[in-house]
Amino acid sequence: MLTGWNVAILGGDARQIEMIRKLSEWDASLHLIGFDQLDYGFTGANHIDMDDEEVEKFDVVILPVAGTDENGNIDSIFSNQQMALDEDWVTRTKDDCIFLTGIANKYLTDLMDKTDRRLVPLLSRDDVAIYNSVPTVEGAIMMVIQNTDFTIHSSRVHVLGLGRVGMSVARAFHGLGAKVHVGVRKPAHYARVQEMGLVPFYLNNLEKNAENSDIMINTIPAPIINASVIRKMPSHTFILDLASKPGGTDFRYAEKRGIKAIIAPSLPGIVAPKTAGRILANTVSQILKDYKRKDGESK
């Protein structure tokens, strides 16, 4: 239970709805900012604005999965009001206030350092990434089916990266009968790919491997699918970039070549927002319980 915790949720998408629902069930005192256009309300939740005096009570501030932009602006699909996180606003919260975000950027990191607040990037946690890989894989399968005119079965799929998402994607497409090749950098990952019964290759050989690719799925947040790689691809190749924005693909050159390329960094929030929201809510609850135990006292 989260009785006694004052939790603010600032903007976001459909994932936040499930988070609000779960945190309310756990008896947190909820303050919602950027939800004025919701079609329904939440019993007991307090709808406020950024300049409300309630800010001084906040123990926890939950930002959207995308966090903020480089200027501190916060997006919400449930409001048209302008919301921005700045030093003055953050210092109004409690000294020990915890800020939770999906992704941390330089602006957020610097702001938390200046104000001496704790920042927790949820998507950097292994547990969240592993749980999120399930809806990510389902979404990837959906997008490949929607954007190709051939079956996944027997197609040549190149997965770039063997992280938590890459491993799940490679395993799922292999299970659907695709001929899966996985691009890696480390010898240990090369060995793991072989152990999984897939075909490994080193990423410095990506151009050569691109010549035989029907589907290329990138999970690496670096410019890896560049013009030289795209130039070698068959014209029917479909590129699905799952890395965080701006992705790792030269989308301009892909369009010039007539190769379909799509970036989809937030698939869990698109294909399964309820599940993705529940994953985040469970993680938030665990973080706060651990924080309470560490301090040795209740809020």
User: With bands split at pLDDT 50, 70 and 90, how would you rate the model's confidence at 298?
Assistant: very low
For residue 2, what pLDDT band results from cuts at 50, 70 and 90? confident
Confidence of residue 116 (pLDDT cuts 50, 70, 90): very high
pLDDT band at 269 (very low <50, low <70, confident <90, very high): confident
By DSSP bridging, strand 156-160 and strand 179-184 are parallel
pLDDT computed for residue 82 by the predictor? 87
Q: Which of 217-221, 266-270, 276-280 has the lowest mean pLDDT?
A: 266-270
So what's the pLDDT on residue 292? 62
The predicted-structure confidence for 232-249, as pLDDT tens digits, reads as follows 999 999 999 999 888 999
Does the pLDDT value for residue 297 go beyond 70?
no
CA–CA separation, 62 and 277 (whole Å): 12
| Residue 32: count of CB within 10 angstroms of its CB | 23
Q: What is the rounded average pLDDT for all residues in the chain? A: 92
Per-residue pLDDT reduced to its tens digit, 24-70: 989 999 999 999 887 666 777 888 999 899 999 999 999 998 899 99
pLDDT band at 9 (very low <50, low <70, confident <90, very high): very high
Cβ atoms of 10 and 64 closer than 8 Å: yes
Q: Are 223 and 241 in contact (CB under 8 A)?
A: no
Domains of the chain: 6-124+272-295 (3.40.50.720), 128-265 (3.40.50.720)
Task: Please give the average per-residue pLDDT across 9-37, as a whole number.
Answer: 91
